[in-house]
Structure 1
Amino acid sequence: MGGVCSRKRDQLGDEDGVRRGVSGRYCKSGSSKWLGASFSRPCVECHLGGGNCSSLLELCIYKICEDIDKYSSFSMLPRDISQQIFNELVYCQRLSDVSLKAFGGCALQDICLGDYPGVVDSWMDVISSQGSSLLSVDVSGSDVTDSGLSLLKDCSNLQALAFNCCDRISECGLKHLSGLSNLTSLSLKKSNAVTAEGMRAFSNLVNLVKLDLERCSGIHGGFVHLKGLTKLESLNIRCCKCVTDSDMKSLAGLTNLKELQISSSSITDFGVSYLKGLRKLILLNLEGCHVTTACLDSISALVGLAYLNLNRCGLSDGGCDKFSRLKNLKVLNLGFNNITDACLVHLKGLMKLESLNLDSCKIDDEGLANLTGLLNLKILVLSDTEVGSNGLRYLSGLKNLEDINLSFTLVSDNSLKNLSGLAHLKSLNLDARQITDAGLAALTSLTGLTHLDLFGARISDAGTNCLRYFKNLRVLEICGGGLTDAAVKNIKDLGSLTLLNLSQNLNLTDKTLELISGLTALVSLNVSNSRITNEGLQHLKPLKNLRSLTLESCGVTASGIKKLQSTALPNLVSFRPE
């Protein structure tokens, strides 16, 4: 969320739109991505005088990491303890050229250094010294070269290997992979080394189950080397524009494929026809491909499909009757297509459907009548459609709905009463300027809401009194309104909030930061385009869990935030201005 809190409209769709989850994007070092990915790993701490106490082993590991310069080797320790020390050093970013040498010959099983700063060929000496014990290696975003890669040839039991964004690896270097026949997972995202010739090394990896070649721009013609990989179940070639229909012909024999992601490639309906024999496919992602509704002739043969992404394709109503054959679909993404209510008629029988995305399609109120029988529906995206107040009455019987996106629709205050019976609703996006205090009041029965987005809604200070009903809220966004500090008094007691976005409320002052200082669960805070100053930053000191702070277009300076970070908020890794 930027300072101006710009919204979707014409932005590219999520490439992982078939499923929810984090897209595995890698950048060249810089470590901010690495730190973000490490949030799931809690740092070992000793809580003296109360709270949860760390185990004796954890305390020992923590002490060793503090005094790491005193140790020259851990090879005499049991492998699992050496592994835990190594992991802790990586998490705390205290692993260096010197401390790494202490792990030589420790028989470690997992080396996870994705986007860790300073990883070069000399590190590979120590990594390869783990020998046959080594099972997984991730050195994504590193400066490892062909020489470093060659050192892994003696690690014969390697099962998982990731060299994403390693731009110093060449197609010749990939030849060193050919002997690692026990590999089951290989990831080489955004790698210039993966060319038609470079992929020749893959032909010996007969146990490969998962192959990730996202954003590899030179792979056209290389799929012939995958023909013998009969155990392959997952192939990701998203954002490889060089991939064409002829490449699909080489995949036709991989009959064990369960997941195939080909978004943003150059394949057409003809290329999709080669896939109709892949009867085990569960997930197919064709987002942004040059296909039309005609591709459904082939896709409809894949009766086991559970996840289908046709976002930003050239679909129209003609031929949509083929959807009715896909009885096992759970997730269907049809956003940004030229389909109308006539297409929705053919979705009536998809009784297993749990998620449906109709973003920016030509759907209106009456089209929603076709969804009334989809009782398992949990997620429904209707943003930028012609759905208005009358259409919401068709949703009132979908008792399992947990997430509705009604942004940029014609929905108004009175229609929100139709949502009052959706007891399971957890996430509601109402980016609509016709929503006022009355609309928010109509939602107060939805006490299970955990995510509420009211971007652009005309909510006043008085209207925020309704927020007291939403005690379970973890995400709250009220952007672009006319809120003052008085409104924040009704937010300060929402103790479960982890994300709070109040950007573009121009009258908020330092008092707002004082009021929210008790929201200690906050991980992300955005109060951009307000009257907050450097003086107000002192109120944020209690927010020890804060990792993202956005205060653009305020009276706040980068130096002021950096000072706050260094003195009080050590977990803050993303902030603006910077």
Structure 2
Amino acid sequence: MGGACSRKRDLLDEVALRRSGRYYKSSSAKWLLLTLPRCNTNVSVREQGKCPSLMDLCVAKVREDIKNYSSFSVLPRDISQLIFNELVASHCLNDVSLEAFQDCALQDIWIGEYPGVKDGWIRIVSSQGESLLSLDISCSDVTDTGLSLLKKCPNVQSLKCNYCDQISDYGLGHLSGLSNLTSLSFKRSNVITADGMRAFTNLVNLVNLDLERCLKIHGGLVHLKDLKKLESLNIKYCNCITDADIGSISGLTNLKELQMSCCKITDAGITQLKGLSKLAHLNLEGCPLTAACLKVISGFPSLMFLNLSRCSISDDGSENFSALQKLKVLQKLKVLNLGFNSISDACLVHLKGLLKLKSLELSDTGVGSNGLSHLSGLSNLESINLSFTSVTDGGLRKLSGLTSIKSLNLDSRLITDAGLATITSLTGLTHLDLFGARITDFGTKFLKCFKKLQSLELCGGSITDAGVKNIKDLKSLKQLNLSQNSHLTDKTLELISGLTGLTSLNVSNSRITNAGLRHLKPLKNLRLLTLESCKVTANEMKKLQLSALPNLLSVRPE
């Protein structure tokens, strides 16, 4: 929460904003230090295990004694900003304490998802006047009336109003005068319509626009056609958007990122985008497309991210025709998602020239072991998802030379101990998903080769306490999922008690009991603990949380 201070902003003339009697960034904080009562050493910064600065101590003390202060307007702006940020982060800001920030010339007010934000708060926000540069009021109860007050803040560059259901088309009209806006977000607004988007016409400096899940904006993209500086447009999950809308953005030649997941865009709509030569990020997941759209997509020479998951991309399985043959020209491509499409091994031959590729998603496709041989030259590949494919143990051997791989998803019943043995050369692995693989206690000995593992899922059902002995020394682990292994006992918790870096642990559907919970006490970093269908009671889990695991935020079952 809160924003960084002392940032250079092009629009802010520091000298012009000076007022008589005010301290500014170059001024002394002596007033604050002299008026504060002596701080005790029991402040939050000291609890973090580091030596706090004098400013940290002062700000923490102000937070403790916030009821004693009626105004911070005489302080340097940087100090007022620090105090405001601290109150937000510690959830100490309320209707009363907020009044102390009237006319403080704050630059950044980030109160998104903060409880109790309403129109009355915007009165204080707007008092920051020309100083205010960024504002986040997401998930608030601010209405059109509150939004109208922002006309006092003409220098605002970034505004987030996500999930603000009480802001309507009428409220959008108040934004038309904020011509310095470069970033605007109205995610999941069920009220905004195409007509309300007329207000965007005057926002000629807009660079980023986020309208994700706005379901009534069909026909509204026409009001964006003159926003020539727009570089990023997010209309994901706007299932009202069709091919008829796409022509309105075809002239936005500065677009670098276009998010259109689950829109009703077909091949005809994609054809209208062929002039967007700067496009680097294109997300078309879930759109009703076919392989024909790839002809247009291959004409985006700057493309680095392409998501075609859950589209209708398919091939006939022969080497004479491949849905992916057009993609081989995308030499800058780094991330490619082809999951949940009807593509086969024959397609992958066209990927072998994508030498900059770092991430490849092939989950739920017709790809098998034979196709993996085409990937052997992708020396920069760091992540590959082969879940629910027909890849077998023998196919994994073809990945053994890709030592750059850090993340590997092998969620498939076709993978066994033998397959795990073939990839022990991938010593740089940090994430390994073997959720449905048939790994036994014998196979777990190969896990010792992956010293850098931070995340491990091993849920095939064949692991016992004996197998966990081969996991207990993976000291880098932060997330461990051993669910569905019904033979695990309290001994497992004893074995992993030395993995003090764990933040997430799942041992559901096992024989863990209340008696075993004591072994979790050393795991002070644990934030998520899942013990569903175990022989433990909610009362004992709550005791553990209160007495030994202060950072535990989620316990299942509760």
Compute the TM-score of the two structures, normalised by the length of structure 2: 0.85
In structure 1, give the amino acid aligned to 2:146: G
Structure 1 residues 224 and 398: alpha-carbon distance in aligned structure 2, compared to 1, 3 A threshold: closer
Which residue of structure 1 aligns with residue 362 of structure 2?
382
Equivalent residue in structure 1 for 2:147, among 146, 149, 170? 149
Which residue of structure 2 aligns with residue 443 of structure 1?
423
In structure 2, give the amino acid aligned to 1:478: L
Shift of 1:184: 0.9
Which residue of structure 2 aligns with residue 569 of structure 1?
549
Q: Distance in 2 between matches of 1:522 and 1:440?
A: 23
Q: Distance in 2 between matches of 1:442 and 1:278?
A: 44
Q: Is the 8 A contact 2:298 2:330 kept in 1?
A: no
Q: Distance in 2 between matches of 1:180 and 1:559?
A: 54
Most deviating of 418-427 and 175-184? 418-427
Structure 1 residues 63 and 541: alpha-carbon distance in aligned structure 2, compared to 1, 3 A threshold: farther
Equivalent residue in structure 2 for 1:481, among 457, 461, 469? 461
Which residue of structure 2 aligns with residue 417 of structure 1?
397
Unaligned segments of structure 1, at least 5 residues = 1-42, 319-336
1:84 and 2:64 correspond: no
Which residue of structure 1 aligns with residue 250 of structure 2?
252
Shift of 1:517: 2.1
Unaligned segments of structure 2, at least 5 residues = 1-42
SS state at 2:45 partner: coil
Which residue of structure 1 aligns with residue 136 of structure 2?
138
In structure 1, give the amino acid aligned to 2:476: S
SS state at 1:343 partner: coil
Which residue of structure 1 aligns with residue 412 of structure 2?
432
Q: Is the 8 A contact 2:286 2:308 kept in 1?
A: yes
Give matches, 1:49-448, under 5 Å: 52-317=50-315, 342-448=322-428
Q: Distance in 1 between matches of 2:305 and 2:539?
A: 47
SS state at 1:260 partner: strand
Shift of 1:140: 0.5
Q: Distance in 2 between matches of 1:241 and 1:408?
A: 28
Shift of 1:138: 0.5
Most deviating of 298-307 and 398-407? 298-307
Which residue of structure 2 aligns with residue 322 of structure 1?
none
Q: Is the 8 A contact 1:341 1:362 kept in 2?
A: no
Structure 1 residues 425 and 273: alpha-carbon distance in aligned structure 2, compared to 1, 3 A threshold: closer
Structure 1 residues 504 and 139: alpha-carbon distance in aligned structure 2, compared to 1, 3 A threshold: same
SS state at 2:310 partner: coil
Q: Is the 8 A contact 1:340 1:361 kept in 2?
A: no
In structure 1, give the amino acid aligned to 2:376: S
Q: Distance in 2 between matches of 1:275 and 1:398?
A: 29
Which residue of structure 2 aligns with residue 528 of structure 1?
508
Structure 1 residues 67 and 557: alpha-carbon distance in aligned structure 2, compared to 1, 3 A threshold: farther
Structure 1 residues 307 and 386: alpha-carbon distance in aligned structure 2, compared to 1, 3 A threshold: closer
- Aligned-CA RMSD value: 2.7
Q: Is the 8 A contact 2:277 2:301 kept in 1?
A: yes
Q: Is the 8 A contact 1:317 1:340 kept in 2?
A: no
Which residue of structure 1 aligns with residue 490 of structure 2?
510
Q: Is the 8 A contact 2:244 2:269 kept in 1?
A: yes
Shift of 1:428: 1.5
Shift of 1:133: 0.8
Shift of 1:137: 0.6
Most deviating of 364-373 and 502-511? 364-373
In structure 1, give the amino acid aligned to 2:121: W
Most deviating of 292-301 and 169-178? 292-301
Q: Is the 8 A contact 1:368 1:394 kept in 2?
A: yes
SS state at 2:223 partner: helix
Shift of 1:455: 1.3
Shift of 1:231: 1.8
> In the TM superposition, what whole-angstrom CA distance separates every residue of 1:288-331 from its partner, at most 9, and x where no partner exists?
2233333345444444333333322233449xxxxxxxxxxxxx
Q: Is the 8 A contact 1:483 1:505 kept in 2?
A: yes
Shift of 1:202: 1.5
SS state at 1:235 partner: strand
Q: Is the 8 A contact 1:242 1:266 kept in 2?
A: yes
In structure 2, give the amino acid aligned to 1:439: G
Q: Distance in 1 between matches of 2:290 and 2:393?
A: 38
Most deviating of 518-527 and 415-424? 415-424
Task: Between the two structures, name the one with larger relative contact order (CA 8 Å, sep ≥ 6).
Answer: 1
Larger radius of gyration between Structure 1 and Structure 2: 2
Shift of 1:115: 1.1
Structure 1 residues 449 and 162: alpha-carbon distance in aligned structure 2, compared to 1, 3 A threshold: same
> In the TM superposition, what whole-angstrom CA distance separates every residue of 1:80-129 from its partner, at most 9, and x where no partner exists?
12212222222222222222222222211111111112212222122222
Which residue of structure 2 aligns with residue 46 of structure 1?
46
Q: Distance in 2 between matches of 1:316 and 1:388?
A: 15
In structure 2, give the amino acid aligned to 1:469: C
Shift of 1:79: 1.3
| Paired residues, number | 516
Shift of 1:287: 2.2
Q: Is the 8 A contact 2:307 2:336 kept in 1?
A: no
Q: Is the 8 A contact 1:411 1:434 kept in 2?
A: yes
Q: Distance in 1 between matches of 2:318 and 2:288?
A: 14
